[in-house]
Structure formats: structure tokens, C-alpha cells
Structure 1
Amino acid sequence: MAVSDAKRTSPNLDAAPAEGVPVLELRGVRKAFGGAQALAGVDFTLRTGEVHAVVGMNGAGKSTLVELICGTFPQDGGDIVIDGRRQGPLTPRRAHAAGVSIVHQRRTLVGELSVAENLLLGRLPTRAGRVLWRRAREEAAAALADLGLDVAPGAPARSLDPGAQTLVEIAREVHHGGRVLVLDEPTAALGARDAERVHGLVRTLRDRGTAIIYISHHLDEVLSLADRVTVMRDGRVAAVEDRTALDLPALVRAMVGDRLVRGGRPETARRPGAVALTLSELAGGRLRPFDLEIRAGEVVAVLGPAGDGQSELFGLLSGLRRARSGTVAVRGSVLRSGSVTAALGAGLRCVTGDRLSYGLVPGLGVDENLDLVRRGRQRPWLVRWRDVHARARSSRERYGVTTIQDDPPVAALSGGNQQKVLLSAWLDGDVAACLLEEPTSGVDVAAKADIHRIVDGLAARGTAVLLTSSDIDEVIRLADRVVVVRGGRAVADLPMDHVSRDDLGTLIAGGDQP
């Protein structure tokens, strides 16, 4: 059954299973960052013994909603109610004390410690200042067995497969008293078998009365697991539905809306030139043998569920990782696999989606960061600082980087200005081809528009652009072609003018090619 237009515009916030009582309520919650409204009067109810999925496109407000519930930062307005009691400003400690726990997409187990040590981290049994190891192993074994998990308490966490690591993380939060469990993309980087193990544990916890908020881009598992689904769009609740009232097309429509917005694309159609970037049978990590050609002046987007193979492209193209098989060629010249120097020398630039961890040096000034790539290929004693500052001034003007001070640490900039510094540092000069990984992640609306214009400029200069983005609107805005990856393989390669938002959402979720 499809979601009606009336329900999408006026969500039924009281729809819920008959069983269960409210354990968590959000009433008119608001949150803004600078001038960007992340949450605009959100109402949300979670009941005991239910899996309540929260879905939406990138930037819809899901992450902000979760961070408020877990106390990472306070709301600007509205109320958070736990067990019928209105809460003051939540902190992670206060949220945890109230029984709210989160399992993040990025696993947090300490690899060198045992499963038991990870499960009881911070709560190991002691006597006279000494850890009671036997008791710790017994307690961990009992906690795992209680949830039906066949995991050895004494095994090092690093020895577990990804699915088992996720299960241990969930078990840890439950053992520490989590009654409200937030699962943030728990199966994003898992194969089908491991994902089903996680699904089984989720069902077990629900049957025991645990209240679960489930965040996922995999809409098929949402429709399989959830009791209710809240759809978010642009910081608001677009729909709240019982899962039985939804099918895949209806859920996609609720997420993306009914309009196909193509505004902002370049007025002049791009005219791609010769092939500039070729991936032939490229494989590594979760990426299966993958073929792709991108021409000079063409923008090709790779789109798929988080962790489903496209995330491997950064390491393989940049030279940070050696490919398991296959080749990368720039303008017909095959690159040496696993060599950053070879990639840079061929004019291939890979811009990370994690700017402060891998793309910039947060403690250095803007000017030094802008000169990092160029300077990294020179002898350090040849640096002429007057030239560095002059080049930086020119780069800041071209890329629209604004700063209050003359040359502040890059960590002091807004997310949008940090991203512009990153793009300028890596894309200035003669760039034959580039990979842009989530280029507008964590930036405001104005910066996003500026970055889109930067990508247009790259294509106009003849650069072959490979874009990996989880934002369908961004893909529609920028790409000439879209390649959809599922299970580590390309399942569709379509020209952008022959595909709609609904088509893309359906393909990502597991539907057939239009």
C-alpha cells in the first residue's frame, strides 16, 4: 500500500502498534547549526518492544536527531521525554544513565583487547585493585549466551569477522543497561550473511522489550525489520507509518518527494573528450571486479548503500591501497598499484570525504594546507614562504575561502571553508582526473552550492570527475552518468537525463533497472 499525499504532508504522529508504552518522546525538537536548520520542530515517539526505523536522504536530519537523543549536543528548542519525565539538557553520561545507548556505524571495539574486556570495558570486576579475570570471562560468557551469541569471550576482538564485532558491540550496550538502543547503519559494511545475524539479534532484543531506533540506507531491511518507520526530509518529519502500510516505491517517494529538481545544472551541455580515466577489472576490499571509463570533461557518479563497495575507490585510486586485481589508467597510462606518487604524477587527484583525518592538517594554517600537495613533491628546504602566501591568496579567491584572520589554523574554519581549502589544495593545477568522495559532507547550503560550481568548473576545464556521494540530489545536480553499485558490483550505468530520483532510490534499495 502506498503512502498517501495527505499522510506525507500531515504525518500521523500517533500511528503505532497497540502494544508497548512510550519510553522516549521528542516534542517539537529544533536544532540549527549557524544559519542551517538541521531539525525544525520534530516529533518522535519510541515504544518498548518496537523497532522504529528512521530513514531519509543525506542531510535529512537523521544524524542530528540521533545526536540529540544520545546527548552529544543539546536541542535549541522542544522537549526530550524519557519514561514520562521531561529531561534537562542531555549529555552522553546522562543519556546513558537513562538507558540510552548507541552503536555507531564505525566499530569501536579495541582490537588488542579480548571480547570479554571489550564487553566489560570500564566495568571489569575487581577486588583490592586487581581485575578478577576468571569472573570477567564468566560474566562475559553469560551475557553473550543470554543473547544466543556464539562468540568466544577470550578471543581478541581483532580476530572476529565484521559481523561478530557488530554483535559484540550491541551486546556490550545491552549488558551495560541499554533499554533504548540506537543502531546507526549497523549492517552498512556487512555482507548478507553477517547482516542477517545482526537482524536476528535485533529481533531477539525487540521480543525482550528493548526499544530500538534503527538507522539504515538499506530500505529492504527497514521493510523487513521495522515495526514503524519515520521518514525525514529537510529536517522535518515527512511521514510516520506502520511498516505494513509501506512498500518500497512508497517509501522511496516519501524520502525524496514528488518533485524532480534539476535546477542549477550548467546551462551549456558538457561535451566530453577522450577517455581520461579507465578502471579495468579493479577489485579490492568489498569492491568486486569493476570496469569504468570516464572522459575528459565528464562527471560520473557512483551511488550505492554506504559501505557497499564504492568506499573502496578512494584507497585504490589514490595509491593508499594495492588492488587485489585489475588496473587504473590515466590518459592511457597504467598506474603502479599502491603508489601515491604514481597517482599524483599522472595527474590523478583523490579528495577524501574525511577532510580532517586524511585531507588536511588541522593544526596548520590555511596557507600551509593550501600548499601541502605542491610542497609534498619538493625538497622542504626549498620552501619560499612569500610564494606560499601569495599562491594561497590566489587560491582562496578562486575557491571562495573566507577567513576572519589572515591565516588561521584550518581547524578554526567552518566546515564549508575547510572543504573549499581541501578542494583547492588537491585540485589546483593540471588535473587529468579526480575522485571526489562525499564532496559536500557536513557543509551548509551556501557552501554546497559553491562546491557544486567548483565541480562544474573542473569539468569545463576538461577534468574527468568521478564522484562518490550518498546524496541523490547532489548526483542529479552534478552527474552526466550514474553508476549504481550494490554488493560490490555495478548493477546499472545510466545517463542522468534518463533517470529520476525514484529510479535511483529503487536501484539502491535493491529494485530493478528502469
Structure 2
Amino acid sequence: MTVPGGTRHAAGELVKPALELRGVRKAFGGAQALIDVDFTLRPGEVHAVVGMNGAGKSTLVEMVCGAVVPDGGDIVIAGRRHGALTPRKAHAAGVSIVHQRRSLVLGLSVTENLLLGRLPTRGGRVDWRRAREEAVRALADLGIDVAPGTAAARLGPGERTLVEIAREVHAGGRVLILDEPTASLGGADALRIHRLVRTLRERGTAIIYISHHLDEVLDLADRVTVMRDGRRVVTVPAGEVDLPALVRAMAGERLVQDRPDRARTFGEPVLELDGLDAGRLRGFGVTVRAGEIVAVLGPAGDGQSELFGVLSGLRRPRAGRVRVNGRRLRPGSVRSALSAGLRCVTGDRLALGLVPGLSVDENLDLVRRGLARPWLVRWGRLHREGRRARDRYGVVTLHSDPAVTTLSGGNQQKVLLAAWLDTGVTACLLEEPTNGVDVAAKADIHRLVDGLADGGAAVLLASSDVDEAVRLADRVLVVRAGRVVADRPMDQVTRDDLVSLTAGGTTP
């Protein structure tokens, strides 16, 4: 039974909350990021925090981790009050975070990453035998099947996330913040993360779970807190709310856009892929006409992710051809792709799309400058063009030209799209264009994609999101294990058909 200030166990003893925030507030310049927020996290609880980009989720967890100092209010960890924390103090108090951007040292082994900064020594040297034994125990204790001697660079994305979580737990994390842990993972890897989260909950770890996947939140969380415009809107047991109610709470009066009625007509073939072999892709072919959106749908890692490297010119395929308006592109040539009007937008915006050290306008100028190859930067023009692109693509910033890393995920994604698609697009590949963004930003991006097709561009959408394919595509190709298993006009296939096909089933 829940009581003020804590939770009663069956024996009747009062257990203090693992974490409390009492009236915390934070402003950046004139913008209120958090307004008198109260929040409680109990031991052995998965407490999901959801909200649109800019709702205050990131500021909330950064405050708990000591990266942001509150303007007012209290932070209470295991009964001890803190006016503010530093990262060192937060970690010493048992607070750990696993970020969406994985932070393993790829050149080191699993053991070295797991015990980073805490490797056991003997006689002034690392005791590797003891380190390996400790790593084996730590991984086995959490049911993680990863060889401790494996180099981190050889791990899959899901395994890297599992090892990061194990590292924080082994370091003494009692309050664990998981920031979009499954955002870029396929179904099987996401299930492994879910199993580990449930294991940690049973052991008494208090978990703050940040996710844009609301179905995942409802399945995994004990309670859900909705943030909107810097305020806590509601905290509710996950079993007492459904997905539409969560979306309404997050969006307020804003409406989530459904698939629009289309009256588009398609032109001549623009983008033609024929017999492509690359990575897991085998004999892949598709033709996309002017004004058409074709989705290449499949579980993450089943082949559609190979398209970015091949079409952008970063990678030479083993076989096959790419044509734009009948012109064959030179394999492995970025300039050939760009000069043909082919734009490829990566699904990993911070690693491959944006330059974190530059401002928003500088990032917006990179592709234009690369096409024109000017020797000098014309700063006045850069900012004028940047302001126009920001307005056109709906990029929201607190001031005129901030560092791109200060933006929310949805605004970063809009900057990425503006940088690549505001430069004369004939055809484009969009790889997971709404990965890790909230429902409002997703609706904005979907409208941008519709606008591209309405303007006559040929759009190829590489995605693992069935609902996104249903919302956007005129035609869908389902890829499984690198091969096309279905090619259907969207009006001849249902959502359930697509779910079945991507999961390994069949349709009539």
C-alpha cells in the first residue's frame, strides 16, 4: 500500500523513496524548462517518464545526474536532501545513467569496459584473472550472455546496451536512469533489454525509464509520469492508462495526424535500384517514381540499413546498379550521388549526420557548402539561409543559433533533414527519419516527407516501424534476412499483414 513519503512492505515497515524531487525548477535564459516539478521513484519500481521533445524530460534526468543545477527545489536520494548535485556526488549517491548514445570504449574488452576505472590490482599491476572472474560473475548475475573477453567493437547494439547497464549496476547504481535504451534496436534486442529491466526491478533497483515507444512503456512500467511544457501533467499506474490517453496527455490540445487521404499522381521512374548485393542485402531491386513514397520495411538489421551506405556512395556494393533519372551512379562515389540530386539522410543523426561541435546554422550550411565548394564562409548569408531553413522545417531554438547538441532530439532531426533536403532533391533515402523523437515532432516530420513527394521527389523510406510505413508509404517492400519477401501497394495490404510479414509470417 502506498503511503505519503514511502511504500509499505508486507511486514509493515516504511521504505523511503529511492528518489524524490520536490518543487524543482529550472530556466535557461527566458525559457522555463522545469516548473515546480514533484516526482517520486520507489525502490524496485520502473517509473517511465514520457513527453514530447522539449517537455522537460532531459532537464529532469540531467538534474538528478548532477549535470544541471536546479534554480530551486530539493533533490532527495534515499532520504538525504540535496539542493544540487554534481555528477560525482550523484554517482556516489548511487545514481547512474545509460544514455541513448552508447559510451563503451570500443577498443577495450567487455571486462575492461565493465570495470572501467575500477580494475583490480595486485602488486601495482592489473590482476587480469581476478578482473575476468569479477566480470563473469557480474554478467552471469544479471543473466547477460556475453563473453567477457570480447572486444566492445564486436558487440551488437543490443549487447552494448546490456553491458553498459551491467557496468552501472556493478558500480553500485541503485537509481538507474535508462534514456531511450531500445530506440535503435530490433525486436529481439529490445526484448533482452526488457528482461534485464525486469530482473533489476525484482532485485530492488529503482529505474527511471525514458522512451518514445509508448507501447513499450505500458508493457514495462509500473507508473508513468507525463511531462508537458516543463510541468508534470500526471503520474498514473501504467495499468490504469492506455496509449490514446497517454498521447492526449502529452500533446494537450494538439492533434496527432493520421494517414491523410491522398490524391497524388506519380510521374516517370526516378530512382532505380537493380540487383544490389551489400551486407545482408541480396539481389535487392526497386523502382521509385516521381512523387512516390516507397517504404522498405523490416526488422532492424535485416538489410534495409545497408541502403544508406550504398546509395550515399560511402560503400561499394558487391553487385548491382543505382540509377537516378536513367543516369547510372558511380559505385562508392559520394559526389556522384550528390550531383545526381540523390540525398541520403542517416538514421544516426549524431554519429553520421550532424557535427556536434558546430552550431545549428553551420550544420545547415554543410551540404550547401560541400556542393558549391566555396573557399570562404559568408557568415551573413549562412545565418540568413539558416534562419529560412529553420523556419521552413519548424526547428525550435531558445536563441538564434545555438550549438546543435543543445536541441531536443526532434529538433536535431529536423536540422538533419533541413541540411540534406533543402538543396534541390531529385530522389532521397530517409533512414528511420523519426527515430527517437516524440509524437509531435513525428507528425511534423511526416508532413515534411509528404511535402517532398507532393513536390515530385522520389522518396525511399528505410524503416523498422510498421506504423510509420502505413502512415507514409504508397507502396511497401518487406525485407527479411536481406531479401524482399513482399512488394505491395499500400492500399492492398493491412497493418496486420505487415506485422505478420516482418515477424516471419505470410499473408494471402
Tell me if both proteins adopt one fold, taking TM over 0.5 as the criterion: yes
* Alpha-carbon distance between aligned partners in 2 of 1:172 and 1:198, rounded to the nearest angstrom: 14
CA gap 1:152/1:398 in 2 versus in 1, 3 angstroms: closer
The correspondence of residues 71-82 of structure 1 with structure 2, limited to 5 A, is 71-82=66-77
Q: Secondary structure at the match of 2:18?
A: strand
Q: Which residue among 150, 173, 196 is the counterpart of 1:178?
A: 173
Q: Which residue among 388, 409, 427 is the counterpart of 1:433?
A: 427
Counterpart residue number, 1:202: 197
CA gap 1:76/1:294 in 2 versus in 1, 3 angstroms: farther
TM-fit CA distance, 1:350: 3.0
133-142 or 357-366, which deviates more? 357-366
Q: Does 1:318 find its partner at 2:318?
A: no
Residue pair 2:187, 2:299 contacting (<8 A) in 1 also: no
TM-fit CA distance, 1:116: 1.8
* Alpha-carbon distance between aligned partners in 2 of 1:311 and 1:63, rounded to the nearest angstrom: 28
Residue pair 2:358, 2:404 contacting (<8 A) in 1 also: no
Counterpart residue number, 2:40: 45
CA gap 1:27/1:150 in 2 versus in 1, 3 angstroms: same
Counterpart residue number, 1:135: 130
- Counterpart amino acid of 1:164? E
Counterpart residue number, 2:342: 348
Give TM-score, length-normalised by structure 2.
0.69
Counterpart residue number, 2:144: 149
Q: Which residue among 50, 59, 62 is the counterpart of 2:57?
A: 62
Counterpart residue number, 2:227: 232
Counterpart residue number, 2:116: 121
Q: Does 1:212 find its partner at 2:207?
A: yes
CA gap 1:147/1:36 in 2 versus in 1, 3 angstroms: same
* Alpha-carbon distance between aligned partners in 2 of 1:68 and 1:246, rounded to the nearest angstrom: 27
Q: Which residue among 88, 101, 109 is the counterpart of 1:106?
A: 101
Q: Secondary structure at the match of 1:22?
A: coil
* Alpha-carbon distance between aligned partners in 2 of 1:17 and 1:58, rounded to the nearest angstrom: 35
CA gap 1:40/1:395 in 2 versus in 1, 3 angstroms: same
Give TM-score, length-normalised by structure 1.
0.69
TM-fit CA distance, 1:309: 8.3
Q: Secondary structure at the match of 2:208?
A: strand
Deviation by residue 1:274-300 (Cα, 9 ceiling, x = unmatched): 454456798977999988776546788
* Alpha-carbon distance between aligned partners in 1 of 2:126 and 2:113, rounded to the nearest angstrom: 14
- Counterpart amino acid of 2:17? P
Deviation by residue 1:34-78 (Cα, 9 ceiling, x = unmatched): 554443333221101112222334444333322222222223333
The correspondence of residues 359-374 of structure 1 with structure 2, limited to 5 A, is 359=353, 372-373=366-367
Counterpart residue number, 1:242: 237
Deviation by residue 1:136-179 (Cα, 9 ceiling, x = unmatched): 22222232333343433333333444433332222211111100
Residue pair 1:15, 1:240 contacting (<8 A) in 2 also: no
CA gap 1:415/1:284 in 2 versus in 1, 3 angstroms: farther
CA gap 1:361/1:152 in 2 versus in 1, 3 angstroms: closer
TM-fit CA distance, 1:22: 0.8
Residue pair 2:97, 2:177 contacting (<8 A) in 1 also: yes
Counterpart residue number, 1:331: 325
CA gap 1:304/1:21 in 2 versus in 1, 3 angstroms: farther
TM-fit CA distance, 1:98: 0.7
* Alpha-carbon distance between aligned partners in 2 of 1:353 and 1:105, rounded to the nearest angstrom: 13
* Alpha-carbon distance between aligned partners in 2 of 1:393 and 1:127, rounded to the nearest angstrom: 58
Counterpart residue number, 1:512: none
Counterpart residue number, 1:84: 79
TM-fit CA distance, 1:124: 1.2
TM-fit CA distance, 1:442: 11
> What's the Cα RMSD here?
5.7
Residue pair 2:359, 2:404 contacting (<8 A) in 1 also: no
TM-fit CA distance, 1:82: 1.0
Q: Number of paired residues?
A: 483
* Alpha-carbon distance between aligned partners in 1 of 2:305 and 2:69, rounded to the nearest angstrom: 32
CA gap 1:191/1:465 in 2 versus in 1, 3 angstroms: closer
CA gap 1:210/1:432 in 2 versus in 1, 3 angstroms: same
The correspondence of residues 157-176 of structure 1 with structure 2, limited to 5 A, is 157-176=152-171
Deviation by residue 1:221-269 (Cα, 9 ceiling, x = unmatched): 4333322222334443343222332445544554455753669x9xx99
Q: Secondary structure at the match of 2:344?
A: strand
CA gap 1:214/1:140 in 2 versus in 1, 3 angstroms: same
188-197 or 85-94, which deviates more? 188-197
Counterpart residue number, 1:187: 182
CA gap 1:467/1:42 in 2 versus in 1, 3 angstroms: farther
Extract unaligned runs of 5+ from structure 1: 1-11, 402-407, 500-507, 509-514
* Alpha-carbon distance between aligned partners in 2 of 1:318 and 1:414, rounded to the nearest angstrom: 27
Q: Secondary structure at the match of 2:21?
A: strand
Residue pair 2:295, 2:475 contacting (<8 A) in 1 also: yes
CA gap 1:375/1:260 in 2 versus in 1, 3 angstroms: closer
- Counterpart amino acid of 2:336? A
CA gap 1:63/1:315 in 2 versus in 1, 3 angstroms: farther
Counterpart residue number, 2:397: none
* Alpha-carbon distance between aligned partners in 2 of 1:160 and 1:250, rounded to the nearest angstrom: 38
Counterpart residue number, 1:503: none
Residue pair 1:185, 1:217 contacting (<8 A) in 2 also: yes
Counterpart residue number, 2:89: 94
Residue pair 2:16, 2:79 contacting (<8 A) in 1 also: no
CA gap 1:427/1:280 in 2 versus in 1, 3 angstroms: same
Counterpart residue number, 1:502: none
206-215 or 429-438, which deviates more? 429-438
Extract unaligned runs of 5+ from structure 2: 392-399, 495-501, 503-508
* Alpha-carbon distance between aligned partners in 1 of 2:286 and 2:137, rounded to the nearest angstrom: 50
